[in-house]
Amino acid sequence: MSTIFCQDDYKIYDKLANQSNQKRGPLGWVQIYMNEKNLKNKNPDFEGGNLVVAQGREFVSQKIFNLINFDGGSRIDWRAHNISHFAVGSGGATVNNDIVTINGPFICDTSLYQPISLGNSSFLEEPSNYSSGDGVHEYTDSVKPITTDGSILLESESYTGDSTCNYYTKVKCSCSIINGEPGAIAAGSAVEISEAGLYYTNGADAQMFSHICFAPKYKEKESAITIIWYILC
């Protein structure tokens, strides 16, 4: 996987638009910042392309065409859903004798492998129903609204050719896991984070839109992590 070094957001979208290895569905690029200093200096601790999973692509198709019927029946109706939430987990990688094996993602993924409960009862349930019994790796309270501590913004692109116009097909999601999250870990303790997902929801029902896995990072209870998730439609 190649690494890009960006001076501004527009170079990220240029990178997405020219990726030859992602030929279907919206394109995504994720940057993870483990501290505020790196965010200000635009020096991510990790970055890479995400996978828009199969049901995420179907969600886009339903929204675009306002259609759930196929030859022989109809699909689950997700037209009232919107991409609005995210979650993190610990199942994205395995480390054995300092060798890191990335465990996914795969086109048929519908959930994180080991979601992390952030500890806020207003957050949604991760569709995995995964539970380790330790109070941290739980599906409950795992799927957080992006705008609780972050933002979702359209950003413009300009075209000058036979005519001139501006259009808005870039979306930048700033996802934050703040001081105090996850709530179940003790002060001074840390939890591994090696996967993340975006979700479309109707306010209650969370469904995975895209998934990314990476080498483990560690989030202390007192620290904060910012995940910048770019989508180019």
Q: Beta-carbon neighbour count of residue 203 at 10 Å?
A: 12
When mean pLDDT is compared across 23-32, 65-74, 121-130, the lowest value belongs to: 23-32
How confident is the model over 44-62, as a mean pLDDT? 94
How confident is the model over 75-84, as a mean pLDDT? 97
User: Of 125, 129, 151, which is closest to residue 203 (Cα–Cα)?
Assistant: 125
What integer pLDDT is reported at residue 6 of this predicted model?
46
pLDDT at 78 over 70: yes
Q: Does this model's pTM top 0.85?
A: yes
What integer pLDDT is reported at residue 146 of this predicted model?
98
pLDDT at 17 over 60: no
pLDDT at 8 over 70: no
- Whole-angstrom Cα distance, residue 221 to residue 225? 10
Percent of the chain exceeding pLDDT 70 equals 89
pLDDT at 5 over 50: no
How confident is the model over 57-63, as a mean pLDDT? 96
Residues in the chain: 233
Contact 105, 211 (CB under 8 A): yes
| Per-residue pLDDT reduced to its tens digit, 92-137 | 999 999 899 999 999 999 999 999 999 999 999 999 999 999 999 9
Contact 130, 137 (CB under 8 A): yes
What integer pLDDT is reported at residue 41 of this predicted model?
80
Residue labelled with tokens 């919206």: 26
- The token duo for 175 is 């996802």
Contact 49, 1 (CB under 8 A): yes
Q: Beta-carbon neighbour count of residue 201 at 10 Å?
A: 19
pLDDT at 37 over 90: no
What integer pLDDT is reported at residue 20 of this predicted model?
46
| Per-residue pLDDT reduced to its tens digit, 134-176 | 999 999 999 999 999 999 999 888 898 889 999 998 899 999 9
